[in-house]
Amino acid sequence: MNAIADSKENIIAQHDVIVIGSGFSGIGAGIRLTQEGINDFIILEKHQSLGGTWRDNTYPGCECDVPSALYSYSFAQNKKWSKVFAGQKEILTYTEKTARDFGIMPFLRFGIHVQNIVWQEAQQHWLIDTEQGTYQANKVISCVGYLHEPILPTISGLDSFKGDVFHSSRWNHEVDLTGKRVAVIGTGASAIQFIPEIQAKVKELIAFQRTPQWILPKPDIKVNKLVRALFQLPFTLNLFRKTLYLGMEIFGLGFRKPVILKRLQGLATWHINRHIKNEALKKKIIPDYTMGCKRVLLSNHYYKALAKDNVEVVASGVDRIEGNTIIASNGERCEADVIILGTGFHVSDVPIAKHVQGKSGKTMNDIWQGSPEAYRGTTITDFPNFFLVLGPNLAIGHNSAFIIIEAQLNYVMGALTEMRDNNLSRLEVNSAAQKVYNEKVQQDLQTTVWNTGGCSSYYIDENGKNSIGFPWSTFKLRKMLAKFDGQAYSLDKKSES
């Protein structure tokens, strides 16, 4: 990483706080900052519009797999969702409306691509290097999320494939799939949504599946006028939201006590049996690991699509591509006109980590060595005044990401108000506090389904460590992040000069 010159003429703008990313985390951070009376901030966004993953993912059938009443801010509940699980466009519209309603648009800076973020220990501030120039801030809140950077597989011959190739999160709407032979590589959360949408129009669909998924029926219904009217009454929507939350927390017990989820496998198997009659296909798509080891998915249409005559499931990854021929690792061969990559995102290898340089001169990647960790998923030793939203070991697998986001932002605001009220220039979590916290996290993860379920997943990093999952309930998460604990930090006062 190149050093950034710290001189007045190189600085485009100076702010107390800079937020990076304008998805739900970034917009939420902006709202909470203004609520705390902190108005000297900007939000940097590399794209020309806000929205994060709901701006980027426009593939057919893209929708939420958490009930929309819960997949939204608690302080900005939407009484007009069209169905229980809202689609991409509706969620993006909600994000944009919330940003406008809370006055966040003036703080947004679009088209600003962050390249490096470097801490200046002597000056006690961050320099944020972008393609447009350098910004300066005393504090940085990273809200780039973990569904941000798509995984593009390294497959021999992919670059020379004769047809169109695109990742599901960068869907090419210019490509007409009608009558085409379409190969889908990967059968995860995105693929099970878009495969049913494109199946009827393609000539042939070949799904390359390395590992089958546990998929439950999706209780998705349209929200009728009567229900919408009820949601207008005081407390009704909030009560519905809390009921959903409690129900999902009960489901979450299974991630900590896998025997509970094993019993739910019967429902998932019934879901397969009622749609799939071909025994050979059944053998391919019934998982051999405990439910919850990989992300539990929801769909009412995926198995119906797989049962169609023009769909084939290849129970293997892809070895190589020769011209228009795709050769699977098990030796099967097929011809394709279009390849769609449903290969997921960089989750455990946090994309921003290679760009952030702390007080020691090392980047987060240098320090983490393939196993990200943070104190309470939010702050990191060697990176003063830097806050990660949706950081390491905060994925819960069973409830809404908004629970995490709001809890973390509450904690971050506690830290910022502590700094403001006590005239602090710098805070940094103590290495001992970070070590003790993460040792307890790893200890309690040992009995979770992610660690014992018998699958290979993004929860386990390259070193065999679970750097993704949160081992406790969201009740504990919210309590843990309810108040900033300054005793775990080194706190420096501003210089009198």
Question: Can you name the residues that pair with 359 across neighbouring β-strands?
Answer: none
pLDDT of res. 206: 99
Name the 3-class secondary structure at 49: coil
Which segments of 286-364 are extended strands (E)?
297-298, 311-314, 318-322, 325-328, 333-335, 338-341, 356-357
Question: Can you name the residues that pair with 222 across neighbouring β-strands?
Answer: 83
Do 428 and 489 belong to one domain?
A: yes
Split into its structural domains, the chain has a count of 2
Which segments of 176-251 are extended strands (E)?
181-185, 204-208, 215-216
pLDDT in tens, 456-490: 999 999 999 999 999 999 999 999 999 999 999 99
Question: Can you name the residues that pair with 318 across neighbouring β-strands?
Answer: 328
Do 327 and 288 belong to one domain?
A: yes
Do 335 and 350 belong to one domain?
A: no
Asked, for residue 226, whether it belongs to a domain, the answer is yes
Tokens of 74: 């608690």
Asked, for residue 472, whether it belongs to a domain, the answer is yes
Do 75 and 89 belong to one domain?
A: yes
Q: Which residue, 258, 52, 71, is CA-closest to 147?
A: 52
Asked, for residue 458, whether it belongs to a domain, the answer is yes
Spatial contact of 22 and 96, defined as CB atoms under 8 Å apart: no
Q: Which of 312, 341, 370 is the last residue of a domain?
A: 341
Q: Which residue, 322, 265, 335, is CA-closest to 296?
A: 265
Do 181 and 45 belong to one domain?
A: no
pLDDT of res. 400: 97
Distances (CA, A) of 484 to 120, 140, 156, 383, 488: 24, 17, 50, 17, 9
Tokens of 248: 């999902």
pLDDT of res. 42: 99
pLDDT of res. 44: 99
Please indicate, yes or no, whether the overall pTM of this predicted structure exceeds 0.75.
Answer: yes
Residues of the chain with pLDDT under 50: none
Residue 179: give the domain boundaries: 158-341
Tokens of 40: 């000297």
Spatial contact of 208 and 188, defined as CB atoms under 8 Å apart: no
Kindly state the DSSP code that residue 494 receives in the 8-state scheme. P
What's the CATH code of the domain at 58? 3.50.50.60
Residue for token digits 């017990």?
Answer: 253
pLDDT of res. 217: 97
Kindly state the DSSP code that residue 424 receives in the 8-state scheme. E
Do 278 and 184 belong to one domain?
A: yes
Distance CA 293, CA 255 (A): 8
Do 191 and 249 belong to one domain?
A: yes
Residue for token digits 């999902």?
Answer: 248
pLDDT of res. 2: 52
- The C-alpha angle with vertex 366 and arms to 122 and 131, in degrees rounded to 5, equals 65
Q: Which of 341, 364, 388 is the last residue of a domain?
A: 341
Name the 3-class secondary structure at 217: coil
Do 244 and 321 belong to one domain?
A: yes
Distance CA 340, CA 199 (A): 13
Asked, for residue 3, whether it belongs to a domain, the answer is no
Q: Which residues of 9-33 are buried (b: 16+ CB within 10 A; e: fewer)?
A: eebeeebbbbbbbbbbbbbbbbbbb
Distance CA 314, CA 212 (A): 11
pLDDT of res. 7: 54
Spatial contact of 309 and 322, defined as CB atoms under 8 Å apart: no
pLDDT of res. 481: 99
Asked, for residue 97, whether it belongs to a domain, the answer is yes
pLDDT in tens, 191-234: 999 999 999 999 999 999 999 999 999 999 999 999 999 998 87
Do 248 and 267 belong to one domain?
A: yes
Tokens of 271: 């879901």
